[in-house]
Structure 1
Amino acid sequence: MKRLRHVVGLGITVVAVIYLVRVIDGAALGDVLVALLADPGGLALALGCYAAAFGLRTVAWCRVLPGLGAGHSWAGLHVSLLGNHVLPLRLGEVLRVTSVLRRTPLRAAPVIASAVTLRAADLIAVLGLAALAAPTMLAALAPAWVLAAAAGGLVLVGALGMAWLGRLRRAGMGAAASAMSGASAKPAGAALRLPGPAVLIAVVLAWVLEAAVVFEIARIAGHPLGLGEAVAITAVTIAVQAVAVTPGGFGSYEAAATAALVALGVPAGPAFAIALTTHGVKTVYALVVGGVALAVPGPGYLGRFRLPRRLPPRPAPMLPPDDAPVVAFLPAHDEEEAVAEVVARIPERVAGRRVVTIVVDDGSTDATAERAAAAGARVVSLRPNQGLGAAVRRGLAEAVAERPAVVVYLDADGEYFPEDLAALAAPVLAGTADYVIGSRFTGEIERMLARRRLGNQVLTAGLRWAARRRDLTDGQSGYRAFSPGAAAAAEIVHDYNYAQVLTLDLLGKGFRYAEVPIRYRFRTTGTSFIKLGRYLRKVLPAVYRELNPGRVPAWTPSPVPAPAEAPAQSAAS
């Protein structure tokens, strides 16, 4: 059925294109386009007036809803405009509200009430202007009872919106809902307002400015209109598009505008060319400016894809006691062939401090736990297997319970050199960094499969862009060090993995970042759990969740028992 729908849809599109090619007066359309390109000043004036119309609507919305910033008001209007040009059934009107709700702390009720009221005022204003400017043309295009019914319906919607605003205002919800958008979250200090004379004047002037688009294009095409006639044509097209079912109202817009122009004495061929060109100019504006409004101002409508440019200040360091150990923890799953050797090679002391080694056995089905314990590590077992992210989360908790001077994490598969542990710990012990990644790509790589090298570099490039860190060279490294504060504050928002989300989490909290070169060789035992398709399906949503807390349903990690109290004498490797 899905394939059949695609075939039918394609067939309808082909038929429609053939029909349009046959009925469009190509010479008339070409003449309008040539004239438009020959008069860039007129086109710029038309677009400037169109943009100014949305500027007035921006101001009007801000005056009715004082907690709404001008940037988010402008963005909401243009995201709605974009939606109306790419979605059917005028669904862009919904985006006007959702843009504000997704990007500001404002509550739904006042946002919806103000948007409905102003949209009704918009349509009432344009119909009123048309009735005053070109009553004869309106009477020729639609029966009086249709116009009266439309006007009555809009007045009713506007009255209901006004009543809703008034009730919210009296209930005092306006002030509570009007927290300013942005990080400061300071109250706006003003309640909702009913549309006053200034707002109504702005709404009316906005339609006059919008009518300048068809006014200028008709002038350039050699069929000048009066300003009132241009307003009337704009009113007719807007009224028709209120019930349009096609994206952007294509077809219905052209039919209404052509009929209006013909009623004013413009020949049918040039009338259709003017209508199509006017709609095309508005559509280009909607796509370009609406596309910008999806991202600006931040946070974007689709959420953040990068860390903010301005991050919190570096958290105050947690000063460890003089005898605080260096804690190394190793998540391990079915690594019986490698874990004992890795544990045995971890140095006993680093910078004069004893080293405590913890192996987090993540549901292994082999002798990983026994061999790690025999090699001198303290073993923490998770049952059943919960995933690398969960194991790292538990390892950090166990390490923090030891009251460490520094925490170092490394994989248990033998790919990383335990002898490099001191290099990882050094920046943290010196106080110059809170979070250190061992970079394979600035160090020595004995062997790495070509596909893994490419995958690592591509994923690192993505993380470097999202984190805004040009110095980030190895986003997937399995060798990392943490200050006590960073280890305690670290949050991993999924069980499957930790690499990207942990970096974004700690950088987003202001912890100081550094890298050191390390040595690497591809594993000679065991198998990696990483499969590219599954990795991307699991990790990319988690990265989005990390960058956009509160925008997606809360995620609950696997239940992990609390870390045991640190023993008086921890086993050191």
Structure 2
Amino acid sequence: MKTSFKRLTAILLISSFLIMTFFYLDAGRILAEIKSILTKPGVLLFIFSSYFLAFLARGFAWRLYLNNRVRLTTCMYGLFYSLLLNHLLPVKAGDFARIGVMKAREPAITGHEAFNSVVILRVMDTAILFAMASAGLAFLELPLNGGVILWLAVIGFVSTILFYIKFKAFFDRQISIMKTAFSGWRGMWIIGLTLISWMLEAAVIYGVVWNGENLISFVQAIWVNSITVAGQIFQITPGGIASYEAIMVFALGANGIAAENAYTAAVITHGLKYLFSFIAGGIAIAAYPVPAHLLKKWTRERGNES
């Protein structure tokens, strides 16, 4: 049922994107905006440096979660391997390679610790994204019906309860580790760094929209990024192609951006993220090459063995 719902939602999003493409695709406009960005080094530097700093913040958060017993470079290699694979594969299998890199480079970290750290930090990512998206619905002046917001809140609450009940045994096994990792100031730093990372990622959207001479505040960009990335739980295409753009067009439209401008911004934003994933992933592969057979093993066997 869960898989069927995910696929149905993904198909609806992809269908929506295809319809948007029919009505709003303007190759000339897209090429003109790409050329505009490429001729503005300051804009490119702002976008890519902010995106890199977002991952650096996540790397520090991951290292802190493991009580500084691992190298920051290991965390960054794992994150960039994960980013690259998530943009190449139709499912989010990159986290399995992230676990594998941690286990392979850090002998002091057990398989359970590596697995737990990735899962819990992913859950925290999702919780923060949904929290920021919900805050935007509550505080931003969006043209959304109050009933829609109420239904979204109810669906989110019920889904969370059902998810916990279904995987209660798993979450109960992680509680002791989580209590230790999130205790005191260390926990505050982990949460704070993760929150900052998603704010920094919003700079990609903000830079693209601003370059296209559309009016949007950075707070609005944070909301757009939150709801767009959170929506990738329905990803069934490499990098969430189509579903990413469809959700972002809706989010930008809710903030007053014309549909054709929102479509162009979504395509370019996703394109820049793809470019970054290839660059960062290529650097990670060059710095810490992983044999193809081992990479396949991690993605197929979910990183259970190194």
Same fold, TM-score > 0.5, yes or no: yes
Q: Which has the higher helix share?
A: 2
From 257, 267, 291, the counterpart of 1:302: 291
Q: C-alpha deviations, 1:255-310, integer Å up to 9, x for none?
A: 000111111111111110000100000110011101211242x4x3328xxxxxxx
Aligned-partner Cα distance in 1 for 2:273–2:162 = 27
- Cα pair distance change 1:125/1:161, threshold 3 Å: farther
Please list every run of 5 or more consecutive structure 1 residues that lacks an aligned counterpart in the other structure: 1-15, 171-191, 304-551, 554-573
1:41-68: CA deviations, max 9, x gaps? Answer: 0121111011001101001111111322
Q: Does 1:241 align with 2:253?
A: no
Q: Give the C-alpha shift of residue 139 in structure 1.
A: 5.2
1:208 maps to amino acid:
M
> Normalization by structure 1: what TM-score?
0.43
Give the residue type in structure 1 aligned to 2:248. Answer: A
Distance 1:239 1:283 in 2: 17
Question: Residue 218 in 1 paired to residue 209 in 2?
Answer: yes
Within-5 A mapping of 1:8-87: 24-65=25-66, 66-87=68-89
For residue 325 of structure 1, what is the aligned residue in structure 2? none
For the residues of structure 2 that align with 1:161 and 1:47, how far apart are their CA atoms? Answer: 37
Change (3 A) 1:153 1:70: farther
Greater relative contact order structure (CA < 8 Å, 6+ sep): 2
Equivalent position amino acid for 2:69 in 1? G
The structural deviation recorded for 1:96 is 1.7
Q: Distance in 2 between matches of 1:25 and 1:217?
A: 16
Which amino acid in 2 is paired with 1:254? Answer: E
- Structure 2 equivalent of residue 257 of structure 1: 248
Structure 1 distance, partners of 2:26, 2:114, is: 45
Give the Cα separation in 2 of the matches to 1:81 and 1:96: 9
What TM-score results when the alignment is normalised by the length of structure 2? 0.77
Deviation readout 1:451-472 (Å, 9 max, x if unpaired) = xxxxxxxxxxxxxxxxxxxxxx
Letter in 1 for 2:198: W
Residue of structure 2 in register with 1:117 after alignment: 120
> What residue identity is the alignment partner of 1:193?
A
In the TM superposition, residue 154 of structure 1 has moved relative to its aligned partner by 7.8
The reply to whether residue 288 of structure 1 matches residue 279 of structure 2 is yes
Find the counterpart in structure 1 of residue 181 from structure 2.
193
Q: How does 1:377-396 map to 2 (within 5 A)?
A: none
Deviation at 1:128, TM superposition (A): 1.4
Compare CA radii of gyration and give the structure with the larger one. 1
Q: Distance in 1 between matches of 2:248 and 2:169?
A: 31
Greater per-residue strand proportion: 1
User: Residue 126 of structure 2 aligns to which amino acid in structure 1?
Assistant: L
Amino acid in the other structure paired with 2:217: G
- The code of the aligned residue for 1:262 comes to G
CA deviation map 1:122-174 (0-9, x unaligned): 1111221222234354956874233434565788899987754443589xxxx
- Provide, for residues 218-271 of structure 1, a one-character-per-residue CA deviation record: whole Å limited to 9, x for no partner: 001011311221111111211221121000000000100011111111111111
Which residue pairs with 1:107 in the alignment? Answer: 110
Distance 1:96 1:234 in 2: 23
2:157 is aligned with what amino acid? Answer: A
Report which stretch shifted further, 102-111 or 72-81.
102-111
SS of corresponding position for 1:211: helix
* Amino acid aligned to 1:256: I
C-alpha distance in 1 between matches for 2:199 and 2:168: 23
Distance change >3 Å, CA 168–CA 208, structure 1 → 2 = closer
Aligned to 2:13: none
> 1:201 Cα shift?
0.5
- CA offsets per residue over residues 89-143 of structure 1, 9 Å max, x none? 2122222212212333232101111111111111111221222234354956874
The alpha-carbon deviation at position 38 of structure 1 amounts to: 3.0
1:95 aligns with 97
Identity %: 24
CA distance in 1, matches of 2:59, 2:199: 16
Distance (whole Å) between structure 1 residues aligned to residue 270 and residue 228 of structure 2: 10
Tell me the equivalent position of 2:6.
Answer: none
Residues 218/82 of structure 1: CA separation in 2 closer, same or farther (3 Å cut): same
CA contact (8 A) 1:72 1:103 kept: yes
Deviation, structure 1 residue 28: 2.8
Asked if the contact 1:36–1:43 (Cα under 8 Å) also holds between the matched residues in 2, the reply is: yes
What is aligned with 1:146?
A: 155
1:31, distance to aligned residue in structure 2 (A):
3.4
Is contact 1:89–1:243 with CA below 8 Å preserved after alignment?
A: no
Aligned twin of 1:567:
none
Task: Provide the C-alpha distance between the structure 1 equivalents of 2:112 and 2:279, rounded to a whole number of angstroms.
Answer: 30
CA distance in 1, matches of 2:195, 2:207: 19
Q: CA deviation at 1:20?
A: 5.0
In the alignment, is the contact (CA less than 8 A) between 2:24 and 2:263 conserved in 1?
no
The amino acid across from 2:91 in the alignment is: L
Number of aligned residue pairs: give it.
268
The question of whether the paired residues in 1 share the 8 Å contact of 2:95 and 2:118 is answered with: no
Instruction: Describe the shift of the 1:160–1:36 C-alpha distance in structure 2 as closer, same or farther (beyond 3 A).
Output: farther
Matches of 1:241 and 1:81, distance apart in 2: 13
- CA contact under 8 A between 1:237 and 1:256: conserved in structure 2? yes
